[in-house]
Amino acid sequence: MKNKFKYYKLKDRLLFSFHQYSELETIGEEEVKNHNGFIYYLNKMPNLKSRGSFALSHDSMLHMEEEGLNLLMLKKDDTDCNTPNWILEKIRGRKIKSVNTNYPKWKELIEIKKKDKWKVNILALGDVGSTLAIGLRLMGGENVDEIGIYDRNINRLKRWEYELNQIREPFGEILPPPVKALKGDEIFSCDMFVFCASKGIPPIDSKTQDVRMAQYEANSSIISQYAKMARKSNFKGIFAVVSDPVDLLSKVVFLESNKNETGSYDSMGLFPEQVIGYGLGVMNSRTHFYAEKSKDSMSYLREGRVFGPHGQGLIVANSIENYDERISNYLTEKTINANKEIRAFGYKPFIAPALSSGALSIIATIKGDWFYGSTYMGGVYMGSKSRLLPSGTEVEQLDLPELLFEKIQKTYQRLAMII
């Protein structure tokens, strides 16, 4: 039985779906088939459990009814022979953006265009925020249009505006992005808002086992305020969460932004894919650091992956094709405890996180390159390798070994139970 797609036009955008949309103009298949640009596939999935949009990377996604860890699994030999070849070609070229029409604001997703250079605003200029800003100033010339900075301490704000704008190459051809001190009502006038505010960080000599989780209660209260501000501003950019615990705080942002004045969910806030947690990049970098110390674990440098949260529950795979449980467990343990080693020296570990998870991963996001981040998978912000394309977010799909997938599943369930 052949697929019975219906074809539509919305302004100058071309769309197709299995579903009937009486409010859209109906057109013929040939007009969509011969269109060289992006087209849009309209789906219907539960809105609080599914993304508003994503890059359609496999034709099995045309029949997807729910999202979860299935987003990580490669669908081998699962191609629908009834899918027209021209659609398969567009899927392979990442030329189809899937849009969930169960979201009341879904038509906004059809209008979004990805920019080449972004305006990035950073909230809070503590250790992490200031280091992240330095990274963007040094490395963001080709991708960052402007760096906006905001801090409630006015002297700190002015200090960093002066200091950052005085960083530049002697005779560099690429000008660094200018840095602008922001007023409080300007922080969501950007393409990416970076949340670096943090409260309740345990002291260096603290016996706290999971420093990141200790920050959850205090930071969730702060970030909720900014989630509501993003909603009020009708923010259309990326809300980047850098403060710990990034995975849980990302979920807080999504949920709080989608509550109305009575506290009821109305799905009129941020789309789930607008929120990205930036914490896994440094875990990958720390794993590289330890993997380089032994020939047994060097495979990670070429074949390895990290999954899950920035902290307890992290999963390191030494290799996808040649998965070794012993080596993977060793690397996982070393990576999770890497921050404790820095704290044992008498310092808070913020430089590598601010640069590996922050500046470098943010630049990769803007460029459309692969990076490690926490994105929405069926109600959980789960860390994995992903990228942001003009057609939307793409999560890397892999043929995961069964034992590795079971470990990922346990972490996923643990995160789902917390919020």
The string of pLDDT tens digits covering residues 120-151 is 999 999 999 999 999 999 999 999 999 999 99
> What's at 60, amino acid-wise?
S
Residues whose CB falls within 8 Å of the CB of residue 296, separated by 6 or more in sequence, listed in order: 327
| Cβ atoms of residues 98 and 392 within 8 Å | yes
Model confidence at 419, in pLDDT bands (50, 70, 90)?
A: confident
* Terminal-to-terminal C-alpha distance of the chain: 42
Q: 82 pLDDT exceeds 50?
A: yes
Q: Which one-letter DSSP state was computed for residue 73?
A: B
Q: What does the pLDDT average to over 76-101?
A: 89
Q: 207 pLDDT exceeds 80?
A: no
Q: How far is CA 252 from CA 247, 271, 272, in A?
A: 9, 13, 11
> What's at 176, amino acid-wise?
P
Q: What does the pLDDT average to over 369-395?
A: 98
- pLDDT at position 259, please? 97
Quote the distance between the C-alpha of residue 337 and its chain's center: 24
> What architecture is domain 118-277?
3-Layer(aba) Sandwich (3.40)
Q: 209 pLDDT exceeds 80?
A: no
- pLDDT at position 194, please? 99
Which segments of 258-369 does DSSP mark as H helices, in order?
Answer: 280-291, 300-303, 325-336, 338-344, 351-352, 360-367
| pTM confidence score | 0.96
Q: Which one-letter DSSP state was computed for residue 89?
A: H
Domain with CATH 3.40.50.720 in the chain: 118-277
| Cβ atoms of residues 319 and 299 within 8 Å | yes
Which class is domain 280-352+366-418? alpha beta
- pLDDT at position 144, please? 98
Q: What does the pLDDT average to over 364-380?
A: 98
Q: 20 pLDDT exceeds 60?
A: yes
- pLDDT at position 200, please? 62
- pLDDT at position 220, please? 93
Task: Quote the tokens at residue 300.
Answer: 């990670």
Domain with CATH 3.90.110.10 in the chain: 280-352+366-418
Q: What does the pLDDT average to over 182-190?
A: 97
- pLDDT at position 212, please? 63
Q: 94 pLDDT exceeds 90?
A: yes
Model confidence at 205, in pLDDT bands (50, 70, 90)?
A: low
Model confidence at 1, in pLDDT bands (50, 70, 90)?
A: very low
- pLDDT at position 216, please? 87
- pLDDT at position 78, please? 60
Q: How many CB atoms lie within 10 A of CB 269?
A: 25
Model confidence at 213, in pLDDT bands (50, 70, 90)?
A: low
Average pLDDT, rounded, for the chain:
94
- pLDDT at position 206, please? 57
Q: What does the pLDDT average to over 21-50?
A: 96
Q: 210 pLDDT exceeds 70?
A: no
- pLDDT at position 81, please? 72
- pLDDT at position 211, please? 59
Q: 208 pLDDT exceeds 60?
A: no
- Where do we find the tokens 């659609």? 87
* Helix or strand holding residue 360 (H, E): helix 360-367
- pLDDT at position 80, please? 65
